[in-house]
Amino acid sequence: MKHLTIKFIIAAGIILGSFTNCANGPVGGFLFTGTTFPGEFNTLNNVSPTKKAEGCTRSVLGLITWGDSGAGQIALENGITKIATIDHSTMSVLTLVYRDYCTIVAGE
């Protein structure tokens, strides 16, 4: 009985841990998620979105994660000096198998 309890606690920890740092937006699905949702915008509304760039952070099995989805770095790498909008998108397959979280920067 004691071994069964320990196995249950370990299994529950793995299952609950697999749902941390999930890439999902306003609405998520267990089998598949694909969303795009708004983020920040320039409240002065004096920047036209003539350039658009995207940066993503990806994860496989929750074990390996890579990428850069920081708006500042995306703007710097793509020559965007004034930001008009920052939007986001997510995509995941079976919640844990594959996930990505992208930041979309538009500006001049």
Q: Where exactly are the structural domains of the chain?
A: 2-107
What pLDDT is attached to residue 50?
85
Condensed to tens digits (0 to 9), the pLDDT of residues 6-57 reads: 887 887 777 766 655 555 556 667 788 888 888 777 777 788 888 999 999 9
Instruction: State pTM to two decimals.
Output: 0.70
List Cβ neighbours of 98 (8 Å cut-off, separation of 6 or more).
Answer: 58, 59, 60, 91, 92
The model's pLDDT over 56-98, given as tens digits with 9 standing for 90+, comes to 999 998 889 999 888 889 999 999 998 898 999 999 888 778 9
